[in-house]
Amino acid sequence: MAKTGIVTDPLCLEHEMGRLHPETPKRLQVLLDLVSSKDVTKLSVESITARPAEQEEITRVHDEAYFRRVMGTQGRVVVMDLDTTAGPRSFEAAMMGAGCGIVATDAVVGGRVKNAIAIPRPPGHHAEPSRSMGFCLFNNVAVAVMHAKEALGMKKIAIVDFDLHHGNGTQKAFYKDKSVLYLSTHQYPFFPGTGAPEEVGEGDGVGTSINIPLAAGHGDHEYEAIYGGLIPRILEQFKPDIIFVSAGYDIGGGDPLGLMDVTAQGFGRITTYLRAAADRLCDGRMVVVVEGGYSLTALHDGVFASIKGLVGKGKGPAKGKLDDLHIGDARRYLSTYRQFFKLK
């Protein structure tokens, strides 16, 4: 059995938002080139053929009226919101992008591979049930999570989101759902304006939205402390059946939209920590879904490091500890979360 599956499709190149838009087809092309290179194919990986999502798979997350709105963009250019445009083939690309996450989930839960990375486009975690936002049309990770729940019988699911921006769409989709834990680290205050520590869920879902807002300027040391310390503790108490990761490479140094400074080695260690948690808690079942990342170099190097981390070829854990964090509001969010989790 190949250890790590890779799911992507060149149809996702067909999504266009304009020549000067940062979410460009070049982002996917550098990753298509990467996964077909000898650097990746020599690893213990398996390329898995994608398929488009079906309407009923999308509408487990998104309203039917919103689905029809996106479908209605075919063959024309439609401005969806202030920073998101659908081009003539964006609907097809978005359906294939969501399908990448579904196929990766099937491969992991079905035992074909131990873990997997889906490389869709457009990204997804800002897309809310009834609207597009932040370059996103359909919420790829949320669609995959609902597939795991509804079609594959996963009872408890964790989503870890390390994108630069808070995944408002993913949080909203599961804000009242106690069976889905949403954990996010993100630059704050920043777009989209959500992700404060006090956003902990509603109703039955209280305690299952965990937001760790970070001031700009953090790098490997702080991220390793969080992903090597705090997040594994919470995952161990939640005991998920599968872990999904919204992987945003816009926390990489030099990204034009962000002010974080994570290196390729840092991305490898984040992935290694999460893979180790999946190995301990859910037989290794983990699906990584690529989100943002607008420096082509940081995106390429970060995804390559993540693939090596999934395979088990990443660098070993560093010495980052939760006590070493230099985050102004650390006491604030730890105080909020102690009511739900046993944190020292």
10-residue mean pLDDT profile of the chain (344 residues): values are 91 94 98 98 98 98 98 97 96 98 98 98 98 98 99 98 98 98 97 96 96 94 91 95 98 97 97 97 98 98 98 64 46 60 60
Q: Tell me the residue range of the domain where 298 lies.
A: 4-337
Closest CA to 277 of 340, 232, 214: 232
Whether 342 is covered by a domain: the verdict is no
pLDDT at 239: 97
pLDDT at 342: 66
pLDDT at 271: 98
Contacts of range 251-256, beta carbons closer than 8 Å, 24 or more positions apart:
251/162, 251/163, 251/164, 251/187, 251/223, 252/293, 252/295, 252/298, 252/299, 252/301, 252/302, 253/219, 253/298, 254/295, 254/297, 254/298, 255/164, 255/293, 255/294, 255/295, 255/298, 256/22, 256/294, 256/295
Closest CA to 219 of 276, 168, 260: 260
| DSSP string for 200-249 | ---GGGTT-EEEEEE-TT-BHHHHHHIIIIIHHHHHHHH--SEEEEEE-G
Pairwise CA distance, residues 311 & 2, whole Å: 9
Whether 216 is covered by a domain: the verdict is yes
User: CATH number of the domain that 333 lies in?
Assistant: 3.40.800.20
Whether 343 is covered by a domain: the verdict is no
Q: Among 15, 62, 126, 147, which one carries the catalytic annotation?
A: 126
The total number of structural domains in the chain stands at 1
Is 126 an active-site residue? Answer: yes
pLDDT at 316: 55
Whether 344 is covered by a domain: the verdict is no
The whole model's pTM is what?
0.94
